Amino acid sequence: DTAVSQTPKYLVTQMGNDKSIKCEQNLGHDTMYWYKQDSKKFLKIMFSYNNKELIINETVPNRFSPKSPDKAHLNLHINSLELGDSAVYFCASSQRTSGRAGGELFFGEGSRLTVL
């Protein structure tokens, strides 16, 4: 059983399109995240939801809109895609109250988005 699963794994699309990436975790965790890894391999946090409530919202263009229908799902919708959005997007989950440190993050395998 995959703990954190993302779909699709690969996504190729044209500039200006709207696309979504879905994430599901079966670990029973209460917190989920989206990270972006660009071509230089930097991993940057974008968003975090705890019990469906947005708790981290980094400086991300408002073309990116996360949606958490329930604790086990966190989807990422991107409007008006631009070339610079090309990256690997990782979803992660953790149990926030798992110790004072906040619990380790479990990452999905990533979704590689290519904007042409």
Partner 1 sequence: DAKTTQPPSMDCAEGRAANLPCNHSTISGNEYVYWYRQIHSQGPQYIIHGLKNNETNEMASLIITEDRKSSTLILPHATLRDTAVYYCIVRSPYNQGGKLIFGQGTELSVKP
Give the x-and-dash track for 14-53 against partner 1 (CB under 8 A): ---------------------x-----xxxxx--x-----
Give the x-and-dash track for 63-102 against partner 1 (CB under 8 A): ---------------------------x-x---xx--xxx
Q: Which is nearer to partner 1, 28 or 100 (CB)?
A: 100
Which residues touch 99 (CB under 8 Å, ≥6 apart)? Answer: none
What's the rounded Cα separation, in Å, for the pair 41 and 31? 24
Exposure pattern of 32-68 as b/e (b: 16+ CB <10 Å)? bbbbbeeeeeeeebbbbbbeeeeeeeeeeeeebebeb
What's the rounded Cα separation, in Å, for the pair 92 and 88? 13
Q: Which is nearer to partner 1, 40 or 62 (CB)?
A: 40
Q: Which is nearer to partner 1, 1 or 100 (CB)?
A: 100
- Which residues here bind partner 1, judged by CB under 8 A? 4, 35, 41-45, 48, 56, 90, 92, 96-97, 100-110
